[in-house]
Structure 1
Amino acid sequence: MKKSHRMQILVDLAKRKEDAAAQQLARDKAKVEQDVQKLDELKEYAGQYESERNLLGLGAYLTTNYQHFVDRVQQAILQQEATIGRAEQQADMSMRGWLQARANTKSMDWLKEKNHKAELMVEVKQEQRQSDEFAMRRFLDRS
């Protein structure tokens, strides 16, 4: 088996790893988008309750309960922001992993092509040698 054919196996393996890294990156980016959407919903929810509190004119007891509820929503917002931060870090790590896998695939492919070109050059030289030898024999046979 020629070296370029053996290299193709390595290129295919590197490509599979690159594809897996790309899929992980896509999942991580989707997670970030989903988490951002949840944060937006929480902020909208908190804003609605805050504006309703001002309109309702609640008594002291209900105002305190209402404020505790709004505080819990604010806490959920802070937790969601932290979740987004972690998801973005994971997506960044996935991006670096994919870039590394992509670079590996490209270098394997380049090496395979280099070996293929070298093999072609050897074949061309061999064919040229055979052609020259054949021409020399014809010339000697005629003489």
Structure 2
Amino acid sequence: MKKSRRLQILVDLAQRKEDVVAQQLARDKAKVQQDIQKLEELKEYAQQYESERNLLGLSPYLTTNYQHFVDRVQQAIAQQEAAIERAEQQADMSMRRWLQARSKTQSMDVLKDKNLKAEQAFQDRQEQRETDEFAMRRFLDMSR
């Protein structure tokens, strides 16, 4: 088996690994977007309740309960912001892994192409020698 063919097998394996890492990156980026969407929904929810509280004119007891509820929503917002940060860190790590995998695949592909060109050049030189040898024999046979 030619070296370029062996290298092609390695390139294919590296490409498969790169594809797996790319799929993970896509999932991580989607998770970040989902977490951001949840945060925006929580913020809208908190803002809606805060504005309703001002309009309702609640009793002191209900105002306290209402405020506890709003505080819990604010805690959920803080937790969601932390979740977004973790998801973004995970997506960044996936991006770095994908870039490394992509770099490896490209490097192996370049090496395979280089070997393929070298093999083709060798084959071309060999064919040229055979053609020259055939022409020389024919010339010598005609000379006799």
Aligned residue identity for 1:14: A
Q: Which amino acid aligns with 2:23?
A: Q
What does residue 95 of structure 1 align with? 95
Q: What is the aligned residue count?
A: 143
Please, which moves more after superposition, 133-142 or 29-38? 133-142
1:133 alignment counterpart: 133
Aligned counterpart, 1:61: 61
Q: Tell me by how many angstroms 1:135 deviates.
A: 1.2
- C-alpha deviation, 1:21, in angstroms: 1.0
1:133 positional shift: 1.0
User: Unpaired runs of 5+ in structure 1?
Assistant: none
TM-score, structure 1 as length reference: 0.98
Aligned to 1:23: 23
1:60 offset after TM fit, Å?
A: 1.0
- Identity over the aligned pairs, expressed in percent? 79
Distance 1:139 1:41 in 2: 88
Aligned to 1:12: 12
Q: Return the offset for 1:2.
A: 0.5
Shift of 1:142: 1.7
Amino acid aligned to 1:71: D
Deviation sequence 1:74-122 (CA, Å, 0-9, x none):
0000000000000000001111111111111111110000000000011
Q: Deviations over 1:43-100 (max 9, x none)?
A: 0000011011111111111111110110000000000000000000000111111111
TM-score normalised to the size of structure 2? Answer: 0.97
Q: Runs of 4+ in structure 1 displaced over 4 angstroms?
A: none
Residue 32 of structure 2 aligns to a residue whose secondary structure is helix
Shift of 1:28: 0.4
